[in-house]
Amino acid sequence: MRKTDEHGVSYSVVPFGASRQLFLVAEPKENYLCSGDDTQGHGQTVSDWQRQTRSLLESCQTVLRRENFDKNTVMMGQFFLADIGKKELVRQVFSEFFPENSCVTTFIPQSPVSGAAINLELWAIAGCISSESLQSGSAITAEFDDLRWFFAGDVRPDYQPVGVYARSLNAFQHLGNQLQQNGFQIGQVVRTWIYQGHLLLTEGKTQRYKELNRARTDFFNGVQFIKDYLPPGYCGDVYPASTGIGADDVDVVIGAVAVSTRRKDFVTVPLENPNQTSAFDYGTVYSPKSPKFSRAMALAVDRSCFIFVSGTASITESESRFPEDPEKQTEQTLDNIAALIDGSNLEKHGISGFSSGLNGLKIVRVYVKRPDEWAAIKSVCNKRLGNIPILYTIADVCRPELLVEIEGFAVVNRSTN
């Protein structure tokens, strides 16, 4: 079920096993723009930020109530901020609407393309047996269908390390500590989000994105991901689904999801696109240590399949396509996602009986490199995706010639015939 609310909110509600999943995108009802000597950050006062944040959260609260999701069902919230300096202000307003530490929140220094000060993406799960907060809201766990989930957000490095490699590695180590403290292992991680400030700038004799990849590779070294949940006889490299994307800050922030279970019918498998070279097989021209992620991660249990779609761009094989053409790049990106989550590709990877295409997507996030190309990109997305929750934000993509990157969540049910 997909719906658009009259107050700047669009959302999907879908079943997954015995749970109900809600994916929501929201912007403030109004952009409270004003000017004056007291303005701070993008021409907006502190009170402007408070009003926009409250407006946004009031709309979210209305939707949650309407769809019978209480406040404690919200697992993850991602705030996209035009001014990361307002992070604590937004956190304070958020605490007025949701119980403290009841939800993992990540504050991402990316400006909404619309010109609003703030965007929000929420993921709520109704039907959880239990949930538990850990480390002041930076991580929580939840259980349903005999599946135990771990959600982490706003994972940042300590103050001391210097440089992208050291700071990224330190942030990953913090994630590892959070997992371990809550009974999980790195190998149970199925999805990561990595927001790296000034992604394409040089650092020393290399590039900041390449240093991020080096840190991730070193941290993942020797880890066997989801080995207990792979289809019988599965062979191949296994890494979590992931997005590595630019941000307006200079630092790195990480979010992640992990899953554990004793169910014997639970299957998790990384998906690769038949039209793309696997990212972990990229040549050294792109990075001395290739990006260690899968194109998607599919989780199947009973009659439902949940798919984390990684950040996807206009690449076939390992080459960028349609430079300087945002519309064609968006078309190619969506073609890549359609091929990735198609039922035949799921079958090829050991998950049978499911049929999916772009209609399986329940929420999408679109990273736009140049704001003046948003209209062209949005037109393609509206045509191809229909009435689906879409969040648009401004961010550098991993290659200079790439103008758009798209990620999402898909949920599909097993075919009955």
Three-state secondary-structure class, residue 383 = helix
| Domain residue limits, the chain | 2-413
Can you list the pairs that 71-74 forms with residues at least 24 positions away whose Cβ atoms lie under 8 Å?
71/97, 71/98, 71/99, 71/102, 72/99, 72/102, 72/131, 73/22, 73/124, 73/125, 73/126, 73/128, 74/98, 74/102, 74/103, 74/122, 74/123, 74/124
Average pLDDT over residues 121-150: 81
Name the pLDDT band for 212 (thresholds 50, 70, 90).
very high
Q: Is 299 in contact with 240 (CB distance < 8 Å)?
A: no
Average pLDDT (11-32) is 86
Task: Reply yes or no on whether the pLDDT at 284 is more than 90.
Answer: no
Cα–Cα distance between 337 and 366 in angstroms, integer? 13
Query: Using CA atoms, how far apart are residues 366 and 374, in angstroms rounded to an integer?
Result: 10
| Phi, psi of 72, rounded to the nearest 5 degrees | -80, -5
State the pLDDT at residue 3: 58
Split at pLDDT 50, 70, 90, the class of 216 is very high
**Whole-number pLDDT of residue 37:** 34
Predicted pLDDT at 339: 96
What confidence score (pLDDT) does residue 6 get?
53
Residue bearing the bigger pLDDT, 165 or 356: 165
Tokens of 310: 């990684």
Q: For residue 321, what pLDDT is reported?
A: 96
Higher-confidence position of 128 and 191: 191
Residues in Cβ contact with 334 at an 8 Å cutoff, skipping those fewer than 6 apart: 358, 380, 381, 384, 385, 406
Cβ atoms of 308 and 411 within 8 Å: the answer is no
**What percent of the chain has pLDDT above 90?**
73
Q: Tell me how far apart the alpha carbons of residues 85 and 76 are, in angstroms, rounded to a whole number.
A: 21
User: What's 103's DSSP letter?
Assistant: S
> Quick one: residue 324, left, alpha or beta (phi over 0 = left, psi -120 to 50 = alpha)?
left
Q: Say which amino acid occupies 278.
A: S
Mean per-residue pLDDT over the chain, rounded? 90
Among 75-84, 169-178, 299-308, 408-417, which is the least confidently predicted range? 408-417
Whole-angstrom distance, CA of residue 117 vs CA of residue 27: 9
Q: Please determine, for residue 106, whether its predicted confidence score (pLDDT) is greater than 50.
A: yes
pLDDT score, position 417: 44
40 pLDDT higher than 50: no
Q: How many Cα atoms occupy the beta-carbon half-sphere of 301 within 13 Å?
A: 20
pLDDT band at 99 (very low <50, low <70, confident <90, very high): confident
Rounded mean pLDDT, 113-128: 92
DSSP 317: B
pLDDT score, position 282 = 77
Q: What is the mean pLDDT of residues 30-38?
A: 42
Residue 294 is classified by DSSP as: B
Alpha carbons 189 and 18: distance in angstroms, whole number: 22
What is the rounded CA–CA span in Å between residue 62 and residue 247?
30
* Alpha carbon 75 to its chain's center: 13
Angle between helices 374-385 and 326-341 (to 10 degrees): 30
Q: Can you give the pLDDT at residue 89?
A: 94
pLDDT tens digits, residue range 306-351?
A: 999 999 999 999 899 999 999 999 999 999 999 999 999 999 999 9
Short-list 137, 141, 163, 165, CA closest to 151: 141
What is the pLDDT at residue 35? 35
pLDDT of 36 > 70? The answer is no
pLDDT of 218 above 70:
yes
pLDDT at 34 over 50: no
Angle CA(273)–CA(269)–CA(235) in degrees, nearest 5?
85
pLDDT at 382: 95
Average pLDDT over residues 244-255: 95
